[in-house]
Amino acid sequence: MQKSIMIRSTLVTIFVFLLIWPLALNRTAILYPDTGRYLMNGLNLWHAIDARHTGVRSTSLAGNTAGAIGASQGGPTSVAKPKVTLGGRSPYYGAFAWGARAFGGLGTITIAQALWLALVLVVALPEFGLRRPHTQIVTVAAISMISPLAFFIDVIMPDVFIGVVVVAVFVLWYRWPRTWMPRLWWLFNILAAVLFHTSALLLAVLLLACLALAEHRSWQNRRHQAISIFSALAIGLCGSVAMDLAIKHATGRAVTPIPYLLARTIGDGTAARVLREDCPARGYATCRFVNQFPLTENEFLWGRPGLVGWNQIDPSSETAIVREQWPIVFAALTRYPGQQLSRSAHNLVWMFFTLDVDEFGYSIKLDHSLDNKLFDAQRIEAESGRIYSQHLTLRLLSVIWHITYIVAVSFVIVALLFRRRLRISRLTLQVASTMLLALVLSAAIQGVLGGVWGRYTARIAWLAILAAIVIAVDILRGRTRSLS
């Protein structure tokens, strides 16, 4: 038992060092425009917890002011009140980031995320058939270098946890642990991923549904797995809803969901056609954008030079557009189903085969509705990195990772097609098919419902590399057995 603990502890330490090379190369963590909103929402959550324990009502949520945490990090003690509270920017992840930040600079958040992923991998790899320590070290080194996993660990965003929920669902579904401790560990990872990022919830639900359909004959034998996973997902959903209600109670403003689906159909052109036909007769608040069409989904939501986007207009119009999202989208689907189906299929294929991290090299402009003075220290620290000083070219990394991703996906697909000839084991077949299915579902979610950005594929591309390694190891083992 002690020997096993020592081996795992050593592996975790090695994995952490392998996963933080972007931090060492860039010399600091990487920020993204959305990072500011995550940090602000997490700061508000810390204030709510502090008020709960001290009995003193914090003004952070009510007025979005930053108190002790901001001051302790060298920032001012208050920030401007934003117009609205946007959904999709988890206070839970922000609180996790601030908690890690309390032990040092932005790099401590990266180290915390690397430690989390190292623990996930050290427990998961034996369940994937990679039991020997040296095989695990080589696997993590390969995943770290030839996939964007380590890069996303260095990004102060919850994107890295999307892959974690896939691994957790796989282990619980196919490799149901015999003891409670590992079961609770994987259920905790599902819960955390769902609380950190709403995309994890939809991906996990769709993945579990597909696995249940594929294994419908053995459904009775897997009911405990299904109930446990769905319970974790339900608790995560309730936690997100409870947070939205708490924000509404504290601020007097309901959380405003981002109209991703409306933006997607405007970008695809179907909703744009509906609005051209129905405006101004229907009186949609969205009619204000008709003269600017055609627009991409991101231009509609966030604007561009010379164009005010949805997130930059007055709060009442923002809310009105969110309310009218569904009738406009429904009209687009019923009037132009062929065009929407064609565009969605195109987006899915594009998302599945496209990977890049170029956008992380843009100049840091945090959410415009925040008083960025609170985050000046963080922004200055991040802009001192080699990425923002153009000494580290993300274009080159994107090309390398894109090539390795395409090669890995192609290898996995070929191996699945010729699985009998290659004599792939049942476990390897399960790993490869689940990882490939997760990549397809993620591409469908983003291509059909969200934005078409290469970073969405990049954040889980490491699953393809992992599946390819598992297949390669299995094939080599088979040949070794045949020779012996």
> What pLDDT, on a 0 to 100 scale, did the predictor assign at position 404?
97
Higher-pLDDT residue of 19, 70: 19
Residue 218, pLDDT score = 75
Q: What is the pLDDT of residue 60?
A: 45
Predicted local confidence at residue 160, as pLDDT: 95
Alpha-carbon span 218 to 210, nearest angstrom: 14
Give percent of the chain above pLDDT 90. Answer: 57
Q: What is the 3 state secondary structure string of the chain?
A: CHHHHHHHHHHHHHHHHHHCHHHHHHCCCECCCCHHHHHHHHHHHHHHHHHHHHCCCCHHHHHCCCCHHHHHCCCCCCCCCCCCCECCCCHHHHHHHHHHHCCCCCHHHHHHHHHHHHHHHHHHHHHHCCCCHHHHHHHHHHHHHHCCHHHHHHECCHHHHHHHHHHHHHHHHHCCCCCHHHHHHHHHHHHHHHHHCHHHHHHHHHHHHHHHHHCHHHHHHHHHHHHHHHHHHHHHHHHHHHHHHHHHHHHCCCCECCCHHHHHHHHHCHHHHHHHHHCCCCCCHHHHHHHHCCCCHHHHHHCECCECCHHHCCHHHHHHHHHCHHHHHHHHHHHCHHHHHHHHHHHHHHHHHCCCCHHHHCCCCCCCCCCHHHHHHHHHHHHCCCCCCCCCCHHHHHHHHHHHHHHHHHHHHHHHHCHHHHCCCHHHHHHHHHHHHHHHHHHHHHHHHCCCCHHHHHCCCHHHHHHHHHHHHHHHHHHHHHHC
- Rounded CA gap, 32 and 365, in Å? 8
pLDDT over 80 (residue 343): yes
pLDDT tens digits, residue range 38-63?
888 888 777 666 665 555 444 444 33
CB 79 within 8 A of CB 370: yes
The answer to whether residue 253 scores a pLDDT higher than 70 is yes
Range among 85-99, 139-153, 220-234, 382-396 rated most confident:
139-153
pLDDT of 279 higher than 80 = yes
User: Residue 78's pLDDT is what?
Assistant: 35
Residue 83: per-residue pLDDT: 45
Task: Return phi, psi of residue 256, to 5°.
Answer: -95, 110
Query: Residue 79 pLDDT more than 50?
Result: no
pLDDT at 68 over 50: no
Query: Cα dist. 318→243, 302, 365 in Å?
Result: 21, 12, 21
Instruction: Find the length of the chain.
Output: 484
Task: Write out pLDDT tens, residues 95-104.
Answer: 999 899 888 8
Tokens 């579902």 appear where?
441
pLDDT mean over 286-298: 91
Q: What pLDDT was estimated at residue 389?
A: 67
Do residues 99 and 108 lie in contact, with contact meaning Cβ atoms separated by under 8 Å? Answer: no
Higher pLDDT, 49 or 341: 341
At residue 385, does pLDDT exceed 80? Answer: no
Split at pLDDT 50, 70, 90, the class of 184 is very high
pLDDT at 101: 87
- If you average pLDDT over residues 151-166, what whole number do you get? 95
Query: What pLDDT, in 10s, does the model give residues 25-35?
Result: 888 888 887 88
pTM for the structure as a whole: 0.88
pLDDT at 158: 95
pLDDT tens digits for range 214-251? 887 777 788 889 999 999 999 999 999 988 888 777 76
Overall average pLDDT of the 130-142 stretch:
95
Q: What is the pLDDT of residue 74?
A: 34
Q: What is the mean pLDDT of residues 283-310?
A: 89
To the nearest whole number, what is the mean pLDDT of the chain?
85
Write the CB contacts of 482 (distance below 8 Å, at least 6 apart in sequence): none
* Residue 50: predicted pLDDT: 64
Evaluate if residue 277 carries a pLDDT over 70.
yes
pLDDT band per the 50, 70, 90 thresholds, residue 115: very high
pLDDT of residue 88: 66
